[in-house]
């Protein structure tokens, strides 16, 4: 009897040890190498006023922006869109803008100028836009912009992906300027003035009616979401760790959704948190974990970038190729932007002005990843403009 009891105890100990080993295997920590990123640049409000049909000798438009955050500071900034396609950036001294963020606009940054603005006001109320700016430009000329919209009729805003990236010759990222509650300044019941060096410039008008109303081409968003996808990189690629079977993971401002196949993770989607709406990049099939990616293997899939449903989606394809020493990745937003709109006027606008939907198709991201001598991962990546507009 004692011998049988000892055998039973020994068997239970062996079974418990086996269970502990299996449990440890099932909950082991796995390092994940993932090369995609979404950077959010906070902004409170955005306004664009064009006068290309009645240009100044230097400028064809102004773009006031309002900030109130730890990254940029608190205050107003005005982009001066120049006739040579470059930009001048005037900003209050309470702001500390990053020059690299503006170098991707148009043909690049010409000057970044801190100024004391005599007037700096921009709000959107129930009647529309109320704005007043007054400052001195780099040539010593006084610039004044005034918009007083006093229209009692209800606005009918919509979501828009602004084609800001279309003019970038050498982009360092895929720039997404997502404008929630976007609308045009209405022509009736509106006082609007653009004056440079005591000369008035007539603001451009929208060539079509919007919601059966005449509109100026001045446009605005009280809730802009500014994002850059995969900024160019030449350095260490940071990784993160997962427990086997973990389906959701948060790190910093990112939320990851994970798929598993035989203890191997892949990224179904990741989202960047912000004060407006989650911005999500989803993959189909899920993007593989690159540190477990076999050599001499090719892998293809699709991706979709989405935020609030009102602004539609950007989509395309990705391609992964490995050899014995490196992994190369290519991502192309080849399907462009698909707007979400039910209004005839906006459908007509996006159909006639193809640049709204097609500009992302000319962007291509290429990356090469290698394991460095210390066991970490190094990534060299860049964006190029392919100069092609794809057909539907």
In a domain, 284, yes or no: yes
Tokens coding 40:
């959010």
Are residues 251 and 220 both part of a single domain? no
Across 63-81, b (16+ Cβ under 10 Å) vs e yields: bbbbbeeeebbebbbbbbb
Share of the chain above pLDDT 90, in %: 67
Domain extent, residue 70, equals 40-227
**Would you state the pLDDT for residue 2?**
47
Are residues 66 and 174 both part of a single domain? yes
CA distance 128 to 322: 54
CA 59, 60, 65, 70 torsion-angle sign: negative
Last residue of a domain, one of 227, 256, 284: 227
**DSSP per-residue letters across 285-298:** EEEEPGGGPPSS-E
Residue 9 has pLDDT above 60, yes or no: no
Q: What is the pLDDT of residues 246-283, one digit of tens each?
A: 999 999 999 999 999 888 899 999 999 998 899 999 99
Higher-scoring residue by pLDDT: 91, 9: 91
Are residues 208 and 296 both part of a single domain? no
Q: What is the pLDDT of residues 186-200, one digit of tens each?
A: 999 999 999 999 999
In a domain, 178, yes or no: yes
Alpha-helical runs (H) found in 77-225: 99-102
pLDDT level of residue 387 (50, 70, 90 thresholds): low
**Would you state the pLDDT for residue 340?**
86
- Asked which of 71-80, 97-106, 141-150, 175-184 is least confident by mean pLDDT, the reply is 97-106
Are residues 351 and 219 both part of a single domain? no
pLDDT level of residue 388 (50, 70, 90 thresholds): low
- Is the full-model pTM beyond 0.75? yes
Are residues 49 and 179 both part of a single domain? yes
Last residue of a domain, one of 200, 227, 254: 227
Higher-scoring residue by pLDDT: 153, 3: 153
Residue 10 has pLDDT above 90, yes or no: no
Q: What is the mean pLDDT of residues 217-238?
A: 94
Instruction: Report the chain's mean pLDDT, rounded to a whole number.
Output: 88
CB 104 within 8 A of CB 110: no
CB 166 within 8 A of CB 121: no
**Would you state the pLDDT for residue 365?**
97
In a domain, 7, yes or no: no
Q: What is the pLDDT of residues 121-136, one digit of tens each?
A: 999 999 999 999 999 9
Domain count along the chain = 2
Higher-scoring residue by pLDDT: 257, 212: 257
Q: What is the mean pLDDT of residues 318-322?
A: 95
In a domain, 372, yes or no: yes
Residue 23 has pLDDT above 50, yes or no: no
pLDDT level of residue 13 (50, 70, 90 thresholds): very low
Please count the residues of the chain: 392
3-state class (DSSP) for residue 36: coil
Residue 52 has pLDDT above 70, yes or no: yes
Are residues 173 and 105 both part of a single domain? yes
Beta-carbon count within 10 A of 58 CB: 18
Are residues 68 and 154 both part of a single domain? yes
**DSSP per-residue letters across 332-349:** EEEEEEE-----HHHHHH
Half-sphere exposure of 383 toward its Cβ, with a 13 Å CA cutoff? Answer: 23
**Would you state the pLDDT for residue 19?**
35
> What is each CA distance from 338 to 24, 100, 196, 227, 352, in whole angstroms?
46, 28, 38, 17, 14
Residue 22 has pLDDT above 90, yes or no: no
CA distance 9 to 15: 10
Are residues 212 and 234 both part of a single domain? no
**Would you state the pLDDT for residue 265?**
92
- Asked which of 5-14, 323-332, 354-363 is least confident by mean pLDDT, the reply is 5-14
Are residues 80 and 61 both part of a single domain? yes
- Asked which of 237-241, 345-349, 362-366, 374-378 is least confident by mean pLDDT, the reply is 345-349
Are residues 91 and 124 both part of a single domain? yes
Last residue of a domain, one of 182, 207, 227: 227
In a domain, 343, yes or no: yes
In a domain, 6, yes or no: no
In a domain, 82, yes or no: yes
Are residues 215 and 242 both part of a single domain? no
The partner residues of 159 in beta bridges, in order of sequence, read none
Are residues 71 and 184 both part of a single domain? yes
User: How big is the CA angle at 179 (ends 340 and 79), to the nearest 5 degrees?
Assistant: 145
CA distance 236 to 45: 35
Q: What is the pLDDT of residues 274-314, one digit of tens each?
A: 988 999 999 999 999 988 888 889 999 999 999 999 999 99
């Amino acid at each position: 009897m004692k011998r049988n009891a000892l055998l039973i105890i020994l068997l239970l100990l062996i079974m418990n040890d086996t269970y502990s080993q299996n449990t440890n295997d099932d909950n082991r920590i796995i390092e994940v190498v993932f090369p995609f990123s979404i950077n959010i640049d906070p902004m409170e409000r955005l306004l664009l006023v064009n006068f290309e049909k009645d240009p100044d000798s230097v400028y064809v438009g102004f773009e006031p922006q309002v900030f109130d955050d730890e990254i940029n500071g608190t205050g107003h900034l005005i982009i001066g869109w120049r006739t040579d396609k470059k930009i001048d950036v005037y900003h209050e001294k309470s702001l500390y803008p990053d020059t690299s963020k503006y170098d991707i606009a148009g043909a690049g940054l010409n000057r970044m100028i801190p100024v004391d603005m005599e007037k700096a006001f921009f709000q959107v109320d129930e009647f529309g836009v109320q704005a007043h700016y007054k400052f001195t430009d780099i040539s010593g000329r006084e610039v004044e912009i005034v918009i007083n919209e006093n229209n009692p009729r209800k606005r009918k805003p919509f979501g828009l992906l602004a084609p800001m990236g279309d003019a970038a010759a050498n982009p360092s990222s895929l720039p997404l300027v997502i404008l929630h509650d976007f609308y045009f300044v209405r022509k009736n019941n509106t006082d609007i003035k653009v004056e440079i060096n005591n000369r008035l410039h007539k603001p451009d008008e929208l060539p079509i009616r919007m919601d059966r109303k005449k509109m100026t081409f001045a446009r605005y968003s009280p809730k802009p979401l500014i994002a850059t996808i995969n900024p160019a990189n030449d350095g260490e690629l940071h990784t993160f760790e997962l427990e086997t079977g973990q389906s959701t993971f948060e790190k910093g401002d990112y939320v990851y959704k994970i798929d598993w196949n035989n203890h191997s993770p892949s990224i179904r989607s990741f989202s960047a948190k912000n004060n407006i709406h989650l911005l999500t990049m989803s993959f189909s099939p899920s993007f593989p974990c690159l540190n477990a990616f076999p050599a001499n293997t090719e892998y293809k899939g699709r991706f979709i970038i989405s935020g609030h449903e009102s602004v539609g989606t950007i989509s395309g394809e990705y391609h992964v190729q490995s050899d014995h020493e490196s992994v190369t990745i290519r991502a192309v937003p080849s399907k462009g932007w698909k707007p979400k709109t039910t209004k005839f006027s906006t459908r007509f606008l996006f159909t006639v002005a193809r640049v709204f939907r097609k500009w992302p198709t000319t962007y291509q991201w290429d990356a090469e990843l290698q394991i460095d001598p210390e066991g970490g991962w190094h990534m060299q990546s860049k964006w190029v403009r392919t100069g092609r507009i794809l057909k539907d």
